[in-house]
A and B are shown apart, each in its own frame.
Chain A
Amino acid sequence: MIQVRLAIGALALFALPEIASAIDRQVALAGAAPAAGAAAIGAALPWWFWPLLLFIVCFFLGIVAVLGGVGGGVLFVPIVSGFFPFHLDFVRGAGLMVALAAALAASPRLLRSGMASLRRAMPLALIGSASSIVGALVGLALPANLVQFALGLTLLAIVALMWRSRRSDFPHVESADRWSAALRMNGVYFDAGADRVVEWKTHRTKAGLVMFIGIGAMAGMFGLGAGWANVPVLNLLMGAPLKVSVATSMFVLSIVDSSAAWVYLNQGAVLAIVTVPSIIGMMLGSTIGVRLLTVASASLLRKVVIVLLLVAGGRALLKAFGI
Chain B
Amino acid sequence: MSDSKPPETLVSKEQRIYAEWLNRGMRIGFVLLVVTFVLYVTGIVKPYVALQDLPQLWGLPAAEFRKAADAPAGWGWLRLAASGDYLNFFGIVLLATLTVPCYLRLVPIFHAARERVFVAVAILEVLVLLLAASGLLVFGGH
Contact = CB atoms under 8 A, between A and B. Distances in A.
Contact of B137 (A43, A47, A137): A137
Q: How large is the interface on B (under 10, 10 to 19, 20 to 34, 35 or more residues)?
A: 35 or more
Contacts of B138: 137, 266-267
Contacts of B112: none
B62 A269 contact: yes
B1 A130 contact: no
Given A126-B121, A267-B62, A280-B37, A190 B7 contact: yes
Nearest to A267: B62
Nearest to B91: A276
Q: How large is the interface on A (under 10, 10 to 19, 20 to 34, 35 or more residues)?
A: 35 or more
Contacts, number: 240
Contact of A276 (B11, B56, B88): B88
B82 interface: no
Contacts of A118: 12, 14-15, 18, 106
Contacts of A140: 62, 139-142
Binding site of A, secondary structure by majority: helix, strand, loop or mixed?
A: helix
Contacts of B60: 87
A166 B41 CA distance: 46
Given A85-B55, A90-B62, A111-B18, A122 B118 contact: yes
Contacts of B7: 190, 197
A170 B91 CA distance: 39
B132 A111 contact: no
Interface of B: 1-7, 10-12, 14-16, 18-20, 22-23, 25-26, 29-30, 33-34, 36-38, 40-43, 51-52, 54-56, 58-63, 65-66, 71-75, 85-86, 88-89, 91-93, 95-99, 106, 117-118, 121-122, 124-125, 128-129, 131-133, 135, 137-142
